[in-house]
Amino acid sequence: MRTLVIATLIALFLLTPTARAQADDRHEGYYYPKVTSSEVYRARVSKLRGSDRSRRLGFVTGMAAGAQDKGYAPQMAFFAKGKDAEKAILVALDDDRMATLFRARAVLALLTATARATPVFRDLDPEGQYTFLDLLALLGFEQLTVSDGRSYAHQFEIR
């Protein structure tokens, strides 16, 4: 029994941080299917001072309100989870929106364009170099999971 416990502890220690994060992902299987791929995104910016749980939740609430203001049902759900709302989740609500990781990346490009149009983002990035993932980094998000809500989930670890 003691050997099994030691072997288990060694195996957990040897897991990479990303693998450990995926192993501890309690949102997998509830909000999105099993994580099928991941990558590390190295942000071009640092977290803004004062970017805390409240600011992240305010951002997510604003995004959700914007989606609800359209004359049609939302096409994606965007929300934050984690003790400090440090994990962003983006899930398609129809079968075509983010059917592939390539389409999910295209959605992120559209979100980048939308973010660049806001006064705050223009002030922070007048040359238009930052992406939507950089915006998440500014707000202090540490992870973004994108999913078609059916067959895959891809996680970006934001550093």
The pLDDT of residue 19: 42
pLDDT digits 0-9 by tens, 52-109: 999 999 999 988 887 777 888 889 999 999 999 999 999 999 998 999 999 999 999 9
pLDDT digits 0-9 by tens, 8-56: 333 333 333 444 444 457 889 999 999 999 999 999 999 999 999 999 9
As to burial, measured by CB atoms within 10 angstroms (0-12 exposed, 13-18 middle, 19+ buried), residue 137 is buried
As to burial, measured by CB atoms within 10 angstroms (0-12 exposed, 13-18 middle, 19+ buried), residue 136 is buried
> What are the beta bridge partners of residue 143?
87, 157
Concatenated DSSP letters of 88-109: EEEEESSSSTTSSHHHHHHHHH
